[in-house]
Amino acid sequence: MAIITFPLPRPRLPQMPLSVVLVAILFVVIVVLAVLAPWIAPQDPNDQSLLARLRPPGYTYRDVTYLLGTDDLGRDLLSRVLYGARISLAVSVLSVAVSTVVGVSLGMVAGWYRGWVETLIMRAVDIMMSIPAILLAVLTVAVLGPGFIKLVLVLGLTRWPRYTRVAFGQTLTVAGLPFIRASELAGAGAGRILIHHILPNIAGPILIVATAEFGLMILFESGLSFLGLGIQPPTPSWGSIMSVGRQYLERAPWIVFVPGACLFLLVFSVNVLGDWLRDWIDPRSRSR
Amino acid sequence: MSDGTGSDGARTLTAEGLSVEIGGARVVDDVSFIVRPGRVMALVGESGCGKSLTAYAILGLLPPAARLAGGRIRLGDTELLALSNRSLRHIRGREIAIIFQEPSASLDPLTTIGSQVAEAYRLHHDVGRAEAMAKARDMLADVGISDPDRRLHQYPFELSGGMCQRVMISIALINSPKVLVADEPTTALDVTIQAQILDLMKKLVAEHHTSIVFITHDMGVVADIADEVAVMYAGRIAEIAPVQALFSSPRHPYSALLLASVPRLDAAAKAELPTIEGTVPTAEEFGPGCRFADRCPLADQQCRTEQPPLFDCGTGHRAACWHIDRIGELSKQGTRVTA
């Protein structure tokens, strides 16, 4: 008998449509700029020059060219936006991570065990969702005091109920499918089934929630920073830059416009990549 | 491990007085049977007669609405219903395995075939991933899957229904269980594939010395694969017999009528197919007597008021009917109906 060997299919490189590739490049560029901020920023982001305040993009003062203009204290907007990207990215990524982990685990546990566990978790979700998240965040920060880690925890721990709702509903659906019963009857324990079989099958909808939340986190961070409860000045974040710029919207619109455009591009790219990732998780759509 | 001799007394699985309730109604009532090593016990009946619930009760995995109301299940000498969930997990998949009706839905759509078969092995054996994969590959080859090296890396949606059922069988048998519960494993497959799967099961059962509890409503499949048959009606065993005895001389009117209603190639072309009048009673309609009484041509007052026990009527042949000796009258009536 002739032995024919087939090359084993290696895990393929993700095949992206061109539009997604462009968006991915955009996302990578933003992340790289944020990471490299200390090396590429033309100025110290906190260096004030009161004589050059509220100057438009391209303004040169004492041999220093402010490519994107200056803010109300004459600080270089480009440098502040670059540094601010670090804070905004870190806050949103970490807080989304915290709320995803907390929310999804609770939702899966509630959907798997049902009974009093479900009642306990899902009623807690109802209570959490009936309180405005921003109010909860304000209260918590007011008690704990501001700070980067506290901000991440506050945002993460107030936003988990949305993930729990989605994870709970999806777990209910998937847990009723025959293959879950099959692996239970093959002797798999609850932990194994939840992590290896249910989680991958509910990841799509959760990813959608997470990408939507990602942009919201940056906005919440700016809201809290605006109230003086988030990132403390002079540390720049996109939110705090925008909240300062709001007062000078007529005289110096670039202060709001530049970080706003960056925020838009970042959230847009995250959403597009999230959509693509959700489709890519499903092997049925991958092998085309 | 204790049996495997195949001698007359050896039992792999014993169910005694098994009862399951849903909302207070006994949907499985006092079901007892014995599965011998390397033999195939078929549970036959219409939809909703409790045959699947019986199987799930064996594995200790009833749907949430159902409650075990009594009875004992022994695997060898182990009392299954007394076991904790944790100990049951060591039995499931290793000592008792199950395959389902919908093979494609029984596989995780997002995990490769190889990982799923290997997982079944690793759940009960302390081996590395590579070793389990090699074992999975051999098992896939055993169940007649062509080009197993490639299949290992494919996903369930890339395989046909028959292929998926072969994969399910390889998952079920990779740990050489003592009992395989097959819940209508061929119902979703077309007839050619059905015959192949049945042949495969017969072959593997012989190789692995596994007993099968085979759940089906298809008398043709029963004739093909079973050694013993338990005919179930409305949650009770109506008749239990070796397969030849049941097919040649059924003693319960329900089994007799059921067999008469199977289409035959040698029947006259235009002959009307006999049917059983009426429908299965729902759980609320269960009376004190025989549950088949309302549809039974032989039924009398006693049948409606008193539940018949299982009467012996031959070697290993028992039927729950007050009129096992009047069964002959049925064929006369039957002819009248078909004429």
- pLDDT tens-digit readout, B107-117: 998 889 999 99
Pick from B109, B111, B120: CB nearest A186: B120
Residues 86-145 (B) with a CB less than 8 A from some CB of A = 89-94, 97-98, 100, 102, 105-111, 119-120, 123-124
Residue A99: pLDDT band by 50, 70, 90 thresholds?
very high
Q: What percent of chain A has pLDDT over 90?
A: 23
Label residue B273 exposed, middle or buried (CB < 10 Å: 0-12, 13-18, 19+): exposed
> Mean pLDDT score of chain B, rounded to an integer?
83
Q: What percent of chain A has pLDDT over 70?
A: 93
Q: Positive or negative, the Cα torsion across B6, B12, B15, B16?
A: positive
Instruction: Report pLDDT for A258.
Output: 87
User: Which H/E stretch holds residue B316?
Assistant: none
pLDDT exceeds cutoff 50 at B336:
no
CB contact under 8 A, A187 and B93: yes
Instruction: Report pLDDT for B275.
Output: 79
Please answer whether residues A243 and A260 qualify as being in contact, where contact means their C-beta atoms are separated by less than 8 angstroms.
no
CB contact under 8 A, A284 and B109: yes
Angstrom distance (rounded) from CA A179 to CA B107? 5
As a CATH number, domain A18-285 is 1.10.3720.10
Q: What is the mean pLDDT of residues B157-182?
A: 89
The residue to which tokens 């509903």 are assigned: A169
Q: What is the mean pLDDT of residues A105-120?
A: 93
Compute CA distances B63 → B54, B56, B67, B87, B206, whole Å: 11, 8, 8, 19, 32
Q: What is the mean pLDDT of residues B55-78?
A: 84
Chain A residue with CA closest to B87: the answer is A187
Residues 146-175 (A) with a CB less than 8 A from some CB of B = none
Please answer whether residues A243 and A233 qualify as being in contact, where contact means their C-beta atoms are separated by less than 8 angstroms.
no
Residue B91 CA, distance from chain mean position: 19
Of the candidate ranges A3-12, A109-118, A232-241, B124-133, the one whose mean pLDDT is the lowest: A3-12
Chain B residue with CA closest to A202: the answer is B110
Residue A172: pLDDT band by 50, 70, 90 thresholds?
very high
Please answer whether residues A259 and A243 qualify as being in contact, where contact means their C-beta atoms are separated by less than 8 angstroms.
no
pLDDT exceeds cutoff 90 at A171:
yes
pLDDT exceeds cutoff 50 at A87:
yes
Instruction: Give chain A's largest Cα–Cα span.
Output: 87
CB contact under 8 A, B111 and A287: no
Query: HSE on the CB side for B142, CA within 13 Å?
Result: 24
pLDDT exceeds cutoff 50 at B3:
no
pLDDT exceeds cutoff 50 at B7:
no
Instruction: Report pLDDT for B339.
Output: 29
Instruction: Report pLDDT for A28.
Output: 93
pLDDT exceeds cutoff 70 at A184:
yes
The residue to which tokens 């204290």 are assigned: A73
Partners of residue A64 on adjacent β-strands: A61
Query: HSE on the CB side for B185, CA within 13 Å?
Result: 31
Angstrom distance (rounded) from CA A198 to CA A104? 11
Instruction: Report pLDDT for B267.
Output: 66
Cα radius of gyration (chain A): 23
Instruction: Report pLDDT for B324.
Output: 78
> A-B interface: how many C-beta pairs under 8 angstroms?
83
Residue A12: pLDDT band by 50, 70, 90 thresholds?
low
Q: What percent of chain B has pLDDT over 90?
A: 13
The residue to which tokens 């699985």 are assigned: B13
CB contact under 8 A, B110 and A282: yes
Give which of A122, A150, A118 is closest to A137, Cα–Cα: A150
The DSSP code for A282 is S
Give the pair of three-digit tokens for residue B155.
Answer: 């996903």
- The stretches of chain A forming alpha helices (DSSP H) are 18-35, 37-40, 77-113, 115-130, 133-144, 148-175, 178-185, 190-192, 199-226, 238-245, 254-281, 283-286
Residue B334: pLDDT band by 50, 70, 90 thresholds?
very low
Q: Give the minimum alpha-carbon distance from A262 to chain B in angstroms, rounded to a whole number.
A: 36
Instruction: Report pLDDT for A3.
Output: 52
pLDDT exceeds cutoff 80 at A118:
yes
Instruction: Report pLDDT for A288.
Output: 45
- pLDDT tens-digit readout, B76-88: 888 888 888 788 8
CA angle B288, B292, B296 (to 5 degrees): 125
CB contact under 8 A, A188 and B119: yes
Instruction: Report pLDDT for B338.
Output: 38
Compute CA distances B72 → A34, B54, B58, B80, B110, whole Å: 67, 12, 9, 8, 38
pLDDT exceeds cutoff 90 at A119:
yes
CB contact under 8 A, A283 and B109: yes
Compute CA distances B71 → B5, B21, B322, whole Å: 26, 12, 24
pLDDT exceeds cutoff 80 at B9:
no
CA angle A13, A86, A155 (to 5 degrees): 95
pLDDT exceeds cutoff 90 at B297:
no
CA angle B68, B72, B78 (to 5 degrees): 125
Pick from B93, B105, B147: CB nearest A6: B147
Residue B5: pLDDT band by 50, 70, 90 thresholds?
very low
Provide, as residue numbers in chain A, all residues whose Cβ is less than 8 Å from the Cβ of B147.
6
* Complete DSSP assignment for B81-126: GGS-HHHHHHHBTTTEEEE-S-TTTTS-TTS-HHHHHHHHHHTTS-
Partners of residue B115 on adjacent β-strands: none
Residue B269: pLDDT band by 50, 70, 90 thresholds?
low
> Mean pLDDT score of chain A, rounded to an integer?
83
Provide, as residue numbers in chain A, all residues whose Cβ is less than 8 Å from the Cβ of B93.
185-188
User: Which H/E stretch holds residue B147?
Assistant: none
Question: 10 Å Cβ neighbour count for B180?
Answer: 23
Residues 185-204 (A) with a CB less than 8 A from some CB of B = 185-189, 192, 196-197, 200-201
Q: A234: cis peptide before it, omega within 30°?
A: yes
Q: Look up residue B59 and give its amino acid.
A: L
Instruction: Report pLDDT for B332.
Output: 54
Chain B residue with CA closest to A280: the answer is B110
Give which of B1, B46, B77 is closest to B236, Cα–Cα: B46
